Each structure stands twice: as C-alpha cells, then as structure tokens.
C-alpha cells in the first residue's frame, strides 16, 4: 500500500532501504505516484469500509495463489 502524503510504501524495497538501512529513499511506487500526480493522472476512488474489505481480500487471495 502506498501512503504518498507520509512518504511511505509497504513494498519490500522501501522497507529494506528506508527502514532498515535508514536511507532517505523513495521506491519506484512513490516515484511513479509523484510523476503521475504532477501530470494530473492520479484519480482518487472513494469506497465504503465494506467495499474496501472485499477488494483487499481479493488482492490478498491473488497474492497468495
């Protein structure tokens, strides 16, 4: 998951470089978001907590299979 306002990503690349190695580091997810945002390509999608739970469950199942 990406939290651009906080400069945080849950990817392993960000974790190892920023958290463990204590580098000031932006993973490619944060960089891609920054570029897309500057170009006006970012779209915000709002959903209820229940919709998000269903969506995220499908993401997790897809990762584990």
pLDDT single digits (tens) 20-63: 888 887 899 999 999 999 999 999 888 899 998 988 888 887 76
**DSSP β-bridge partners for residue 3:** 8
Q: Residue 30: CB partners within 8 Å, gap ≥ 6?
A: 2, 4, 7, 9, 14
Give the 3-state secondary structure of residue 34.
helix
Distance, in Å, from the CA atom of 1 to the CA atom of 60, rounded to the nearest integer, reads 12
Which pLDDT does position 27 carry in this prediction? 92
pLDDT of 64 over the 80 cut? no
Are 30 and 4 spatial neighbours (Cβ–Cβ below 8 Å)? Answer: yes
């Amino acid at each position: 998951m990406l939290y651009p306002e906080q400069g945080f990503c849950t990817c392993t690349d960000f974790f190892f470089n920023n958290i463990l190695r204590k580098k000031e580091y932006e993973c490619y997810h944060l960089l891609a978001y920054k570029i897309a945002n500057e170009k006006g390509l970012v779209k915000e999608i709002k959903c209820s907590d229940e919709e998000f739970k269903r969506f995220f469950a499908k993401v997790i199942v897809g990762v584990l299979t």
